[in-house]
Amino acid sequence: MGSRALLMLTNFNFKATVSSFGSASNPFFLIKNNLRIRNFSTKTRSSLQPPDLPGLAETARISLAPNEVEEFAPKIGQVIDWFGQLQAVDLDNVEPAIRADTEGDNLREDVPQTFENKEALIASVPSYEEPYIKVPKVLNKE
Amino acid sequence: MLSTIQPPRYLSRFPLRGRTKSRSFHILSSAQPVTKTCFAADQSQILSIRDSLLNRHLSAVELTHSYLDRLKQTEPHINCFLHVSDPDKVLKQAQDIDDKIKRNEEVGPLAGVLVAIKDNICTADMPSTGGSYILEGYRPPFDATAVKRLKDLGAIVVGKTNLDEFGMGSTTEASAFKVTANPWDLSRVPGGSSGGSAASVSARQCVVSLGSDTGGSVRQPASFCGVVGLKPTYGRVSRFGLMAYASSLDVIGCFGSSVADTGILLHAISGHDSLDATSSKREVPDFTSQFTYASSLKSRPLEGLRVGLIRETVDAGVDSGVKSAIEGAAAHLEQLGCVLKEVSLPSFSLGLPAYYILASSESSSNLSRYDGVRYGNQASSDELNGLYEESRAKGFGSEVKMRILMGTYALSAGYYDAYYKRAQQVRTIIRKSFKAALDENDILISPAAPSAAYKIGEKKNDPLAMYAGDIMTVNVNLAGLPALVLPCGFVEGGAVGLPVGLQIIGAAFDEEKLVKVGHIFEQTLEGYNFVPPLITDVGGASA
């Protein structure tokens, strides 16, 4: 079956191999009915740069320990590769949908309303020095 | 055979203990008329409670004691709650209700009903952690709109339930604090991310509960725990106060031990909210007007209802036990008069990667607010970026970190078109294909998950294997449609078997039809007892 071949050629590292196709642990059992693959190239793998974890971590403002980088990199790589299958789908002339759009415009009057429970808001702040929320200094990086 | 007398099912829904022995629920036979609706109180715990309270057969305090006792007995085994309300406060609320009733004053339609709330839904008087260390001990300054509406109607909030951190997960194993166990088999997961809410209703620790559903987080645990789960249309229920995971997909959903209770709960929390710009202004119909008295049902009450079974959901890869349960459910629907056919949704399989791209991307943005500055746990650092980086590193769990990183990647300059935009285009395709299928059919059916509950730890280290379990549910979120899951059968496993849920999907804002069909299905399904043995074992309660 075409799709089985595709799976083998794309080298996904998933535990359930093609031989156990009938089991519920195989994540790709439903790909076989995809009718919209434009060409039967084996490139469902993303052709973009693989994720640069330390760079992403800096953008996301999360510091990662070296063992975390080691642990996450293969898993994230695997998932991003899996995302890559959307590259092969013919999406010409399809409008992107921001949300399900089950309803139309729904804005309220642009009138400010006072929030009464200010004490609770302030009580949640970890480091407060009236009237400032206190944070450490900002270091300007080049 | 439709029978009006269903004592075994009735009792199995509400095993009582100790104190209420003398006020037996046997009094509430189906012969007794109930307020304004025309169906028996035994089809709904909420209505039977209302009946008992107003007719003074039972006091709210006695009822509350009964539930709190059961909670105390079962909680060490299943660990549903991250926070349990102070029993004195809860009993005081119950006492207030009793006093009002004594004085013949009006009480709300949910008076005395004990509700559990998933911990990513804000409650002003209780900690709301989202299952994360980063919000450990956090007390929101407001109630979520859904919570406020329940309280206004007299419901008593019994506590906050466990979840996968910020809704990211399918088992509660990603909670920072504890893992909830499935009441049907304590070595198995309850499902997720609303695992605590589902297990709590399953174990009868509360009457009903609220959860949230972004990719199946109400429906899959409902299936795993043998309870009813209802995901409303996107926009039906206000998201104000729900900690955002993926704003274009999140909804607040309901759990109950019967379709009627779940429908009543949904009705209570639905409706426009000016605090949520995505909330719909549509009228909310009274779902209870759709319920019919079991004995007055015609022999084929769903005559002519067009039901589409989604072929891609019963293909290879789905547990054979689950397939038989769904086939059994389909046969039952046919007996009720439905016209059943198979429908194919060829783009179905694309929904899963599209969902994870959209959800990770949106979550990377939504979770940027957790920076240790205005609330939550703060790490120490001598400069600002370090403060952010350390607070988030210490506060977030691995699954959350990975999803934020994946989302950051998918949204990066140069990659947006390849991933996020394409996923949005897939969303359009899926919406259209569901709409076409629902033009030809009144409802669509499928399993809620490819298997029944699996063992704790089984999928923990394999993200793709865990994501694969969401295949039945994510497309419904992408299309924004409503769906109901109700128990329809069992597969092998555990002491007495593991429950399997049937998913019923409807057109946008058509919750009324889902509840009507689900209610009739449930009332006419015979030979199954969906009360977990844990309840009958604990304290020897009769069931």
Kindly report, residue by residue over B74-88, the tens digit of the pLDDT: 999 999 999 999 999
Asked whether residue A40 is domain-assigned, the answer is: no
Does residue A117 fall inside a structural domain? no
Q: Confirm whether B217 is a catalytic residue.
A: yes
CB proximity list for B35: less than 8 A, separation 6 or greater: B47, B50, B51, B54
Residues of B in contact with A51 (CB under 8 A): 405-406, 409
- Three-state secondary structure string covering B203-220: CCCCCEEEEEECCCCCHH
Query: Which residues in chain A are closer than 8 Å to B280, comparing Cβ atoms?
Result: 102-103, 106
The minimum CA-CA distance between A135 and chain B, rounded to whole Å, is: 7
Residue A74 belongs to some domain of the structure: yes
Residue pair B142/B128 in contact by the 8 Å Cβ criterion: no
**Which pair of structure tokens corresponds to residue B54?**
């107003």
* Domain annotation covers residue A115: no
* Average pLDDT of the segment spanning B34-63: 78
Query: Which positions in chain A touch B357 (Cβ < 8 Å)?
Result: 83, 86
Share of chain B above pLDDT 90, in %: 83
> pLDDT band for position B295 (50/70/90)?
low
ipTM of the complex: 0.84
Closest Cβ opposite residue B465 in set A15, A33, A86: A15
d(CA B532, CA B147): 28
Q: How far apart are the first and last CA of chain B?
A: 22
pLDDT computed for residue B289 by the predictor: 72
* pLDDT-based confidence at residue B463 (cuts at 50, 70, 90): confident
Instruction: Give me the residues of A, 51-80, that contact B with CB < 8 A.
Output: 51, 53, 56-57, 59-65, 68, 71-72, 75-76, 78-80
Query: Which pLDDT does position B12 carry in this prediction?
Result: 34
> Is B118 labeled as catalytic in the residue annotation?
yes
Mean pLDDT in residue range B447-464: 93
Measure the CA–CA gap between A76 and A53, rounded to whole angstroms. Answer: 9
Which candidate, B368, B313, B307, B363, places its Cα nearest to that of B340? B307
SS in 3 state form for B139-188? CCCCCCHHHHHHHHCCCEEEEEECCCHHHCCCCCCCCCCCCCCECCECCE
Model confidence at A21: pLDDT above 90: no
Cβ pair B317:A61 closer than 8 A: no
Greater pLDDT, A19 or A29: A29
Please state, in angstroms and rounded to a whole number, the distance separating the CA atoms of residues B219 and B205.
19
Q: What is the model's pLDDT at position A44? A: 45
Q: From the candidates B12, B193, B200, B270, which is the catalytic residue?
A: B193
Model confidence pLDDT, tens digit, residues B138-183 = 999 999 999 999 999 999 999 999 999 999 999 999 999 999 999 9
One of B48, B66, B85, B118 is an active-site residue; which one? B118
Lowest mean pLDDT across A13-27, B429-443, B447-461, B470-484: A13-27
Q: Is A125 on the interface with B (CB under 8 A)?
A: yes
Q: Is the pLDDT of residue B483 over 50?
A: yes
For chain B positions 309-348, those within 8 Å of chain A (CB to CB) are 312, 315-319, 344, 346-348
Q: What is the pLDDT of residue A97?
A: 87
Whether pLDDT at B43 is above 90? no
- Quick one: pLDDT at residue A109? 84
State the average pLDDT over residues B367-377.
95
Burial of A110 (0-12, 13-18, 19+ CB in 10 A): exposed
Confidence of residue A4 (pLDDT cuts 50, 70, 90): very low
Establish if A75 belongs to a structural domain: yes
Token pair of B384, please? Answer: 């600002």
Alpha carbon distance B226, B532 (integer Å): 8
Looking at the complex, does the CB of residue A16 fall below 8 Å from at least one CB of chain B? yes
Which residues of chain A from 91 to 110 reach within 8 Å of chain B, CB to CB?
A: 91, 94-103, 106-108
% of residues, chain B, pLDDT over 70 = 90
The mean per-residue pLDDT over the stretch B368-380 comes to: 94
pLDDT at B288: 73
Rounded Cα–Cα distance for residues B403 and B165 (Å) = 11
Q: Two tokens at B499? A: 């429950």
Q: Which amino acid is at B85?
A: S
Of the pLDDT bands very low, low, confident and very high (cuts 50, 70, 90), residue B21 is very low
**Over residues A74-79, mean pLDDT:** 93
Domains of chain B: 45-351+421-524 (3.90.1300.10)
Beta bridge partners of B213: B251
List chain A residues with CB under 8 Å of B506: none
Reduce the DSSP state of residue A34 to 3 states and report it.
coil
Chain A contact for B511, CB < 8 A?
no
Residue A65 lies in a domain: yes
Residue B187 has pLDDT above 80, yes or no: yes
Tokens of B147: 């919570």
Residues with Cβ within 8 Å of B459's Cβ and at least 6 positions away in sequence, in order, are B170, B171, B465, B466, B469
pLDDT digits (tens, 9 = 90+) for B200-214: 999 999 999 999 999
Distance of CA A7 to the CA centre of its chain: 22
Percentage above 70 pLDDT, chain A: 61
How confident is the model over B107-133, as pLDDT tens digits?
Answer: 999 999 999 999 999 999 899 999 999
CB contacts of B316 in chain A (<8 Å) are: 21-22, 29
- Give pLDDT, residue A104: 61
If you average pLDDT over every residue of chain B, what do you get?
Answer: 90
Note the pTM of the prediction, 2 decimals: 0.87
Residue A69: which domain range? 50-88
Tell which residue, B368, B360, B405, B390, has the closest CA to residue A55.
B405
At B218 the pLDDT is 98
pLDDT above 80 for B528: yes
Query: Which amino acid is residue B328, in one-letter code?
Result: G
Contact B402 A75 (CB under 8 A): yes
pLDDT value of residue B386: 95
Which tokens hold the place of B244? 């955002």
| Predicted local confidence at residue B14, as pLDDT | 37
Mean pLDDT value of segment B448-476: 93
Q: Is residue A131 reached through a cis peptide bond, with omega within 30 degrees of 0 on the bond before it?
A: yes
Tell me how far apart the alpha carbons of residues B195 and B181 are, in angstroms, rounded to a whole number.
8
Q: A112 lies in a domain?
A: no
Confidence of residue A41 (pLDDT cuts 50, 70, 90): very low
Where helices occur in B33-168 by DSSP H, the ranges are: 45-54, 60-78, 87-102, 145-152
* Residue B406's pLDDT band (cuts 50, 70, 90): very high
Look at residue B476 in the predicted model and tell me its pLDDT: 97
Q: Could you count the other beta carbons within 10 Å of the beta carbon of residue B36? A: 7
B139, B317, B412: residue with CB nearest A124: B139
> What pLDDT, on the 0 to 100 scale, is given for residue A2?
38
Strand partners, B340: B307
The length of chain B in residues reads 543
Number of domains in chain A: 1
pLDDT at position A48 is 67
| pLDDT value, residue B166 | 98
Q: With beta carbons less than 8 A apart as the criterion, state whether B230 and B263 touch.
A: yes
* pLDDT tens digits, one per residue of B330-359: 999 999 999 999 999 988 999 999 999 999
Is residue A141 very low, low, confident or very high in pLDDT (cuts 50, 70, 90)?
low
Whether B251 and B236 have beta carbons less than 8 Å apart is answered as: yes
Q: Is B289 a catalytic residue?
A: no
A5 domain residue, yes or no:
no
Q: Which long-range contacts (CB under 8 A, 24 or more apart) does A47-53 make?
A: A47/A84, A47/A87, A48/B414, A48/B415, A48/B418, A50/A77, A50/A80, A51/A76, A51/A77, A51/A80, A51/B405, A51/B406, A51/B409, A53/B405
Q: Give the pLDDT confidence score for residue A25 in this predicted structure.
A: 45
CB contact under 8 Å between A86 and B357, yes or no, is: yes
